[in-house]
Amino acid sequence: MNINQGFLGKLGMDSKMAMGYFGVMLFMIGDGLEQGWLSSYLIDNGLTVQQSALLFSTYGFAVAISAWFSGVLAEVLGPRKTMAMGVVLFVLGTLIFLLVGLPTMNLAIMLPTYALRGLGYPLFSYAFLVWLTYYAPAEKLGTAVGWFWVSFAAGLNVLGAYYSSLVLPYLGEMKTLWSALVFVAIGAILAIVLNKDDGSNRKKFESKAEMMKYLSKGITIAFERPKVGLGGIVRTINTAGAYGLVVFLPAYMIEIGFTRTEWLQIYAALWTSNVIFNLIWGVVGDKLGWRNTVMWFGGVGCAITIMTLYYIPLYMGPNYWATTIAAIIFGACVAAFVPLSALIPSLAPENRGAAMSVLNLGAGLSTFVGPALVGLFIGSVGTVGILWIYSGLYLISALIMRFVTLPKDEVVGGVSAKTQAVH
């Protein structure tokens, strides 16, 4: 199972899996095209900041549940079936949300349907990530998952935001939301139908009882392997701040003097940087150590740089380029958590899918925790207080990473565990 030695192979992207990468990117454009502006749209149309935060938190909780089980489902059902299940749930949730929920602004309808939509993308994208962890050789695993996060973040946070900034003035909010289904349909065809690897490395089970026992592994492994559980906590913190920003920071930026288009471009620049550095940190992690990359560039880096998103506009006003540079640096630091996707499965090589389920749960929980912190504390501590809370969490993640180490005699990613343990 060697990485193809052609052009894609030299980049660390196997040609058999290339369609899957592109499919994930298109699917995530459809999922994330409203991320940078939906909250402000809802608030402008009658919801409070707290109600908007509740909607995003409920969505995040659904994402967390789906993400938790995506890894083991990918092994039990196979990645293709798991991904197809994700497509169905996303489409169903989107249809009801757009046909009934948004036109009535009825929160009782919006909450469950937007949550149903949230069940879809983890099953699609994270099942593909599990597929990769089995397919890619150990010495290229950091780079392979780096390419996954490039595709994921490019769709969810960059191309979706840029697409919205271009089409919103012409299509309006509702038609822009409907266009998501086009991206999802094309992405599903590429990743599920046209992707070349057969996914035959999934686990085989003797009975339904054995299958159900393995499904529970997605929960129990966090306790059987405490370092896997710690990795899940760090992954939760990783993007909690980044996803929480969309609930309250647009209002702050517009109050400072930025236009909505400028804010969307700043937000897209943040994630453009993240996409580029997803791959860079994957390669760096393979060379210098997965844990060290996450701890210093991720935890400590994010703790410092997230605060610039408040203080630079505060003291410099609506300075587009200065704020964009601050967003770019923060986005690069958020990407430095990428080696977790290589480190955590390596802590449980016999149960990679279950270990990835814990990591995926953390990714899903971040979409819940980030907005939930806004809903809980925005009224009492304001914008700057929320950002300081996120900064503190990033420092805690760096501290936790001190304890997430590989066995001393294991060599992965071209770096021995002994080297990875060096601070």
Q: Residues 15-41: what's their mean pLDDT?
A: 87
Burial class (CB in 10 A: 0-12, 13-18, 19+), 187: buried
Helix or strand or coil: residue 373? Answer: helix
The residue to which tokens 């909505």 are assigned: 260
Enter the tokens of residue 40. Answer: 């402000």
In a domain, 67, yes or no: yes
SS3 223: helix
Instruction: Please give the C-alpha separations between residue 390 and each of 219, 244, 348, 379, in angstroms, as whole numbers.
Output: 26, 9, 30, 16
CA Rg value for the chain: 20
pLDDT band at 20 (very low <50, low <70, confident <90, very high): confident
Q: How many domains does the chain have?
A: 1
pLDDT at 423: 30
Q: Is residue 2 part of a domain?
A: no
Question: Reduced to 3 states, what is the DSSP secondary structure of residue 415?
Answer: strand
Q: Check which CATH number belongs to the domain holding 260 and give it.
A: 1.20.1250.20
Report if residue 97 sits inside a domain: yes
In a domain, 184, yes or no: yes
Query: Could you tell me if residue 11 is inside a domain?
Result: no
User: Measuring CA to CA, which residue among 155, 159, 164, 149 is closest to residue 39?
Assistant: 164
Q: What is the pLDDT of residue 391?
A: 97
pLDDT of residue 10: 57
CA distance 283 to 338: 10
Q: Say yes or no to pLDDT of 411 above 50.
A: no
Question: What are the structure tokens assigned to 28, written together?
Answer: 């995530």
Residue 58 domain boundaries: 16-421
pTM score, whole prediction: 0.75
Q: What is the pLDDT of residue 354?
A: 79
Q: Where residue 207 falls among pLDDT bands split at 50, 70, 90?
A: low
pLDDT band at 12 (very low <50, low <70, confident <90, very high): low
Residue-wise pLDDT for 270-328, tens only, equals 988 988 898 788 888 888 888 999 999 999 999 999 999 999 999 999 999 999 999 99
How high is the pLDDT of residue 137? 66
Contact predicate 74/345, CB 8 Å: no
1 lies in some domain:
no
Helix axes 160-178, 18-32, angle to 10 degrees: 60
pLDDT at 356 over 90: no
How far, CA to CA in Å, does 349 sit from each of 22, 59, 144, 206?
Answer: 27, 31, 17, 21
Which pLDDT does position 48 carry in this prediction? 87
For the chain, the distance separating the N- and C-terminal CA atoms, rounded to the nearest angstrom, is 33
Predicted confidence (pLDDT) per residue in 44-57, tens digit:
888 888 898 899 88
Contact indicator for 369, 240 with CB cutoff of 8 Å: yes
5 inside domain: no
- pLDDT tier at 342, thresholds 50, 70, 90: confident
Long-range interactions of 107-110: CB distance < 8 A, separation 24+: 107/47, 107/51, 107/54, 107/55, 110/55
Q: Tell me, what's the pLDDT at 109?
A: 94
CA angle, corner 129, sides to 18 and 63, nearest 5? Answer: 125
- In a domain, residue 9? The reply is no
